[in-house]
Amino acid sequence: MAEQWRDIAARKQAERQSRIPKTWLLLSSIKLEQDNVQHIPRECGIFTPAEIRITEQYDATALVDALAKGTLTSEAVTTAFCKRAAIAQQLTNCLTEIVFEDAIARAKALDEDFKRTGKPKGPLHGLPISLKDTFKIKGYDASIAIAALCFKPSTSNSALVDLLLDLGAVLYCKTNIPQTMMALDSHNNVFGRVRNPSHSGLTPGGSSGGEGALVSMRGSPLGIGTDVGGSIRIPALCNGLYGVKPSHGRVPYAGQEGGLAPGSSKLGIEATAGPIAHSMRDCEMLLAAIGASRPWVFDPDVVPQSWEQQASIHTILPAPGNRLKPALRIGIVSTDGICSPLPPIQRIILEVATSLRSHSTHNLTPIQVVELDLSPFLSQCLKVSNGIFSLDGNNQWFDLLEPTGEPLSPWLQSRLKRRPGKSVAEICKLQAQKLELQTQALKLWKDFDVLICPAAPHPIPPIDRWNSVNYTSAFNLLDLPAGVMPVRKVTSADLEVELEGGKELNGWDKINRELWGAKERKVYDGTMLSVQVVAPRLEERRLVESMAIIGEVLKLRGVGGRQQSKL
């Protein structure tokens, strides 16, 4: 019994492998030890030209349009992405549950319905969507990579799963995560480690790391992750993608498997679900489709406010006699005061701020950019977040691991220990501190529409080397919607900049500075640099529209901004 987890893991991996059709298996002659495996799908000989075109030349928004017009069938699109996900799994170990057979059957039924009625089922008609393993799909495990939870199929769907099915989506796979979902890499004992498809030596991020790797490999046109400390934004950053963490109460979250006691989230920091995608418009498309579908009837925590009812940057009316709209006011936050950003992060924040300031008007919308020092405030956020993340002393996780003899992942072994749970008085004190910080944050929005800041103090780091999470977790504590967007790649000029002298701020800062050693920094060459954008609570529409404007300006200024996928 002491090693029972090994047998469970072996059986679970065999089950996963058995669900991949043999004709979709890569030849053993293909070298999988390459640093970058992005090119293998189009060279492996498994795909038809049409399947390569479907998976590489469309983003999710273009696919939805083609499916609604009938120029593509859901069966063809779903089959192409099932194939691509199977290849991505073999190359990056990104999947947990494989739902290909059910997905293709649903796609065929949607096509038949479209032929009969001439109408799409909903705004996501026929679109394949991948999900993080925490989501429950009836008949499949939601093991969250814990041996004790394997081979216990869900008896009902998560709220968002039911909603996505109502909207016409096709759900075809679930994706890999780190053990306990408390790591920012993605390794567990049941399914193994997710690899970054662009560089095997770098982390794919966590905890939605499998989702990031799958979307990056074009194995999914649109993925949905969850985020309680950065778990959507960090994989998006690590894989050069767009990712949006909504406020809690915007997207249905009920019915997830989180490994903790039911109801415990109400005492802590509420997790949220959101998109990881190839384009900003895909993130907006998903959130708008969810918002227009009365999501509050699926989850009692969701605010009864449609996407159209949210304030829009684009619908602010010009002042009388003035053809210009009120300005988009952007605050630039360069550091959290705990970990000083390394040179490439400093440079990309400065470049973005300079570009926005220089391009002072976009489509008749003035842009105002102001530097903002939030270091003392964000330092307080870290202390409160750390206290709330360990309310039960991690006892629930150890209670799940010990019956099968499952050990902690190596990265967690020195970080996660059983401790006494906090008392009611201690929990109340932490919640009072959280509420006070959220109240203080309200003052920001008197002067700013959005903030731009780093999502990490370092570029995409080597495996298990992610440092401070405060650049993302602070906005979970404050319950502010936040998104990550890719800007440009690290250049040789970035790598030539040395650290400024001076004493490390603390232990976290010391570890961060070690990531800029002469040996370490070489690995960053050519990797993507991203920035984070933050908006007021429950103003996701303001967030994604602002991110779109920022992306357009950066593209016009020649700094970055990813062009939307199109035919």
CATH number for the domain harbouring residue 443: 3.90.1300.10
In a domain, 234, yes or no: yes
**Residue 398: inside a domain, yes or no?**
yes
The structure tokens listed for 269 are 């920091």
Q: With 60 as the cut, is the pLDDT of residue 567 above it?
A: no
pLDDT at 50 exceeding the cut of 50: yes
Whether 24 is in a domain gets the answer no
Tokens of 318: 């010009």
Confidence of residue 107 (pLDDT cuts 50, 70, 90): very high
The crossing angle, in degrees rounded to 10, of helices 375-389 and 470-477 is: 80
pLDDT of 29: 78
- On whether residue 466 sits in a domain, the answer given is yes
Q: Which of 83, 132, 136, 245 is catalytic?
A: 132
549 pLDDT tier (thresholds 50, 70, 90): very high
Q: What is the pLDDT of residues 169-204, one digit of tens each?
A: 999 999 999 999 999 999 999 999 999 999 999 999
> Which DSSP symbol is given to 127?
-
Residues 374 and 248 in one domain: no
Structural contact between residues 551 and 562, judged by C-beta atoms closer than 8 angstroms: yes
What range does the domain containing 362 cover?
324-557
Q: For residue 190, give the 3-state DSSP assignment.
A: coil
**Domain count of the fold of the chain:** 2
Q: What is the per-residue pLDDT for 341?
A: 97
Q: In terms of domains, do 287 and 385 share one?
A: no
3 state SS of 133: coil
User: Which residue is catalytic, options 216, 231, 247, 293?
Assistant: 231
Q: How much is the pLDDT for 564?
A: 39
Asked, for residue 497, whether it belongs to a domain, the answer is: yes
Catalytic, out of 198, 207, 247, 385: 207
Q: 3-state class of 15 per DSSP?
A: helix
Is 231 annotated in the active site?
Answer: yes
Q: Please tell me whether residues 293 and 328 are part of one structural domain.
A: no
Both 274 and 330 in one domain: the answer is no
Residues 250 and 337 in one domain: no
- List, in order, residues 6 or more apart from 53 with CB less than 8 Å away: none
Residue 322 has a pLDDT of 58
Asked about 216 being catalytic, the answer comes back as no
Which pLDDT does position 315 carry in this prediction? 64
Q: What global pTM score does this model have?
A: 0.96
pLDDT at 563 (0 to 100): 42
* Final residue of a structural domain among 297, 313, 341: 297
206 and 355 part of one domain = no
Could you tell me if 280 and 353 lie in one domain? no
Residue 318 resides in a domain: no
Residue 38 lies in a domain: no
Identify whether residues 417 and 359 lie together within a single domain. yes
**Which H/E stretch holds residue 78?**
helix 74-92
- Regarding whether 515 and 375 lie in a shared domain, the answer is yes
CA angle 83, 44, 211 (to 5 degrees): 45
Contact 250, 302 (CB under 8 A): yes
Residue 468 has pLDDT above 70, yes or no: yes
Same-domain pairing of 113 and 195: yes
Same domain, 147 and 241: yes
Q: Is residue 473 part of a domain?
A: yes
Counting Cα atoms < 13 Å in the Cβ hemisphere of 102 gives 13
Residue 414 is a catalytic residue: no
- Same domain as 193, residue 289: yes
Q: What is the pLDDT of residue 320?
A: 54
